[in-house]
């Protein structure tokens, strides 16, 4: 076994963060936590610090630094308290850290994800929004620094596992097939979706996840973002990335090869499998996830996605075709729309509408530097918020 991996968990208090720490805690001889971070949940962060005793704890909201520092003192911990976006970047690039788990939700995770890639860390990438927003820059940074990116998103982790370990990994690949559960509203018509509440949208049939990705799964924008994510991670054009609905979420994705072989990765729907695979790669360790009993399952079902009821999927494909800053625009508009939906300011069907209007309105430009991407993100949020205000005043 190689040397102990020293790990920063950014977004430690979230769903992915908790699953990662569950796996890490099973293997103290292999894994050591150097950094834990949270947005505003000081109490949850302190509880994790007591358990994992990291070198530093980062609270993203600077106003909470004193509370964090006092809590660490009271607990008698030597963990250094830090706050704000710069501290997240410092943690992602720290010399005592070789592995960064990017598990912050939304574009808020982009700067630290990019910094980890630039610094040549092993990057366990869950924060798909940063790939959708800045995929070209991220892949370029990793290529220059030699950073190894291991996808945590279950579909991309499955594809990673189905591709050869070395050489030209895409040689002979015909298509990537991303599976989708179809979300809680699979089989419904548009009229059924008019009165959907946030609670209904967040009740995913197979996965327990944060609220933003749960709503994304219900609109199928999650799959749309994942198509863009797959394009950047694996370098295939949109027409060679397909989406297949598979309600049981057992087959996590497939690779279709030129010789007619299709390789798939299967497992129970539990993110600890992808996290354990990525944490121990190229070795395998126990994750806490039980064995799959296929005889008991009996059958696996597949169907095409319903693109008319769930237009967000095609909006994402459209953004990928447009290229440039279109991914950043779609991602930001989606973040605004989902947040408004969760706060009761926008109806469920309004999410796709708001994204489509924003993509129509905000000009797409080249995306070859971070300033252009941040400007597109900003312009998209402003345009989406403006349209939201008009809707609310009507």
Question: Interface residues with ligand NAD (CB under 6 A)?
Answer: 11-17, 38-39, 41, 60, 103-105, 108, 126-129, 153, 207, 209-210, 213, 271
Tokens matching residue 172: 């002979």
Of the candidate spans 53-61, 151-159, 171-179, 326-334, the one that interacts with Mg ion by CB under 5 A turns out to be 151-159
- Looking at the Cβ atoms of 155 and 377, the one nearer to Mg ion is 155
Give the Cα separation of 268 and 198 in Å (integer): 26
Tokens matching residue 66: 């004193």
21 binds, among Mg ion, ligand NAD, none (CB under 5 to 8 A by kind): none
Q: Which residue is nearest to ligand NAD (CB)?
A: 14
Task: Quickly list H helices, the chain.
Answer: 15-25, 42-52, 65-74, 85-93, 110-118, 128-145, 154-162, 198-202, 211-219, 221-234, 272-280, 294-297, 312-322, 326-342, 348-361, 370-393
- Looking at the Cβ atoms of 129 and 153, the one nearer to Mg ion is 153
* Strand-pair category, 99-102 with 149-151: unpaired
- Looking at the Cβ atoms of 153 and 306, the one nearer to Mg ion is 153
CB of 63 to ligand NAD, least distance (A): 13
Give the Cα separation of 284 and 26 in Å (integer): 13
CB of 372 to Mg ion, least distance (A): 27
CB of 224 to Mg ion, least distance (A): 11
DSSP assigned state of 251: E
Element (H, E) at 119: none
- Please select the residue that binds Mg ion; options are 153, 216, 256, 270, rule is CB under 5 A: 153
Residue in this structure with the two tokens 């312009």, named with its chain if needed: 379
End-to-end Cα, the chain, rounded Å: 63
- Looking at the Cβ atoms of 153 and 306, the one nearer to ligand NAD is 153
Pick from 316, 328, 278, 318: which is nearest to 110 by CA?
328
288 binds, among Mg ion, ligand NAD, none (CB under 5 to 8 A by kind): none
Strand order in the sheet with 251-257: 241-245, 173-180, 251-257, 262-266
- Looking at the Cβ atoms of 14 and 324, the one nearer to ligand NAD is 14
58 binds, among Mg ion, ligand NAD, none (CB under 5 to 8 A by kind): none
**Structural contact between residues 341 and 347, judged by C-beta atoms closer than 8 angstroms:** yes
- Looking at the Cβ atoms of 154 and 334, the one nearer to Mg ion is 154
Strand order in the sheet with 31-38: 80-83, 56-59, 31-38, 5-10, 99-102, 122-125, 149-151
CB of 37 to ligand NAD, least distance (A): 6
CB of 88 to ligand NAD, least distance (A): 7
CB of 213 to Mg ion, least distance (A): 8
- Looking at the Cβ atoms of 135 and 357, the one nearer to ligand NAD is 135
CB of 154 to ligand NAD, least distance (A): 6
Give the Cα separation of 85 and 71 in Å (integer): 21
CB of 71 to ligand NAD, least distance (A): 16
**Mapping DSSP to helix (H, G, I), strand (E, B) and coil, where does residue 249 land?**
coil
Of the candidate spans 5-13, 146-154, 194-202, 235-243, the one that interacts with Mg ion by CB under 5 A turns out to be 146-154
142 binds, among Mg ion, ligand NAD, none (CB under 5 to 8 A by kind): none
39 binds, among Mg ion, ligand NAD, none (CB under 5 to 8 A by kind): ligand NAD
38 binds, among ligand NAD, Mg ion, none (CB under 5 to 8 A by kind): ligand NAD
Which residues contact Mg ion (rule: CB under 5 A)?
A: 153-155
């Amino acid at each position: 076994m190689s040397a102990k991996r020293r790990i920063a968990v950014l977004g430690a208090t979230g769903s992915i963060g908790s699953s990662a720490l569950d796996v890490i805690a099973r293997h103290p001889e292999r894994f050591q936590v150097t950094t834990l971070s949270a947005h505003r949940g000081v109490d949850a962060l302190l509880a994790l610090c007591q358990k994992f005793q990291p070198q530093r704890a980062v609270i993203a909201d600077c106003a909470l630094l004193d509370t964090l520092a006092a809590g660490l003192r009271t607990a008698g911990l030597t963990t250094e308290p830090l706050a704000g976006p710069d501290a997240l970047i410092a943690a992602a690039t720290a010399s005592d850290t070789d592995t960064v788990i990017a598990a912050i939700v939304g574009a808020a995770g982009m700067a630290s994800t990019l910094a980890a890639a630039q610094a040549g860390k092993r990057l366990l990438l869950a924060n798909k929004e940063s790939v959708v927003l800045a995929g070209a820059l991220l892949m370029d940074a990793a290529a220059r620094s030699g950073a190894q990116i291991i996808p945590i998103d279950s579909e991309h982790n499955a594809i990673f596992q189905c591709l050869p370990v070395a050489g030209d990994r895409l040689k002979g690949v015909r298509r990537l097939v991303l599976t989708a559960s179809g979300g809680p509203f699979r089989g419904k018509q548009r009229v059924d979706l008019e009165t959907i509440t946030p609670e209904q949208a967040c009740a995913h049939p197979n996965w327990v996840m944060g609220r933003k990705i749960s709503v994304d799964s219900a609109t199928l924008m999650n799959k749309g973002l994942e198509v863009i994510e797959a394009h950047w991670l694996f370098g295939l054009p949109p027409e060679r990335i397909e989406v297949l609905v598979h309600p049981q979420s057992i087959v996590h994705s497939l690779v279709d090869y030129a010789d007619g072989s299709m390789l798939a990765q299967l497992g129970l729907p539990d993110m600890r499998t992808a996290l354990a695979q990525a944490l121990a790669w190229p070795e395998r360790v126990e994750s806490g996830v039980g064995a799959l009993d296929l005889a008991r399952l009996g059958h696996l079902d597949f169907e095409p996605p319903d693109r008319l009821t769930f237009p967000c999927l095609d909006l994402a494909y459209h953004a990928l075709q447009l290229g440039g800053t279109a991914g950043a625009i779609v991602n930001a508009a989606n973040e605004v729309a989902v947040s408004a939906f969760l706060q009761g300011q926008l109806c469920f069907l309004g999410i796709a509408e708001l994204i489509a209007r924003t993509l129509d309105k905000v000009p797409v430009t080249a995306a070859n530097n971070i300033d252009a991407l941040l400007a597109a993100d900003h312009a998209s949020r402003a345009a989406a918020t403006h349209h939201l205000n008009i809707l609310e005043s009507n």
